[in-house]
Amino acid sequence: MKNTRLSFIMNKNKKFKFFLLIVSILILIISLSIFKVNTLQIIDYQADKIIWEKKLTDGDNFSIKYLHSVAKTPVIEFFEIKNGEILLTGTEYQSYGAGLPTSAGQGNYITADGKFIIENINQQLPEIMLRVSDYAQHEFIFNNKTFKLYEKVETETLLQIKTTAFSYLSFILRRY
């Protein structure tokens, strides 16, 4: 009889451990489905294809650098991620070319080291639409890494830069 009782207890213990395992897995799946991860994406808009993507945290910065089409001088636009949104925070350029501001509508306009700088713009953007060209030599800079967009995509490709929130589960599954 002792063997029967012992096997009953062991069987019950196995069922309980199996139940705990199933409950733990369900809690993990539900948690991964509820909690979100923000990503910054660069998408080939026509092909609807992600060509670059990184996980974001608030305060991440990136910039877009290009040559002005007329003045042929560098222009850099600075962006920050805040609450999962893109903020244009500033711009820097070396000459007054067509389309470049001569004063600040938003932010602080200063001149320093032969450059015109507008700081503290803080304009929220839902997305950035950028037509890449080899003559403007568009570059995307994130975490001090430069991605020469004009070398990664064909000239005149329309890119969309945006933030997207995914559940952690979707984010993990998209990787595989």
Residue 134 tokens read as 């080899």
Residue 87 tokens read as 């903020």
Collapsed DSSP state (helix, strand, coil) of residue 58: coil
pLDDT at 136: 94
Residue 162 tokens read as 């945006």
Query: For residue 71, is pLDDT > 60?
Result: yes
What span, in angstroms and rounded, lies between the C-alpha atoms of 140 and 161? Answer: 10
Question: Is the distance from CB of 159 to CB of 153 less than 8 angstroms?
Answer: yes
DSSP H helical ranges for the chain = 2-34, 149-152, 168-174
Provide the residue count of the chain: 176
The pTM score is 0.77
The amino acid present at 124, given as its one-letter code, is Q
Report pLDDT digits (tens) over 3-57. 665 555 556 677 778 888 888 888 888 887 888 889 999 999 999 999 999 999 8
What span, in angstroms and rounded, lies between the C-alpha atoms of 143 and 137? Answer: 19
Q: Hey, which bits of 45-73 come out as E strands?
A: 49-55, 61-67
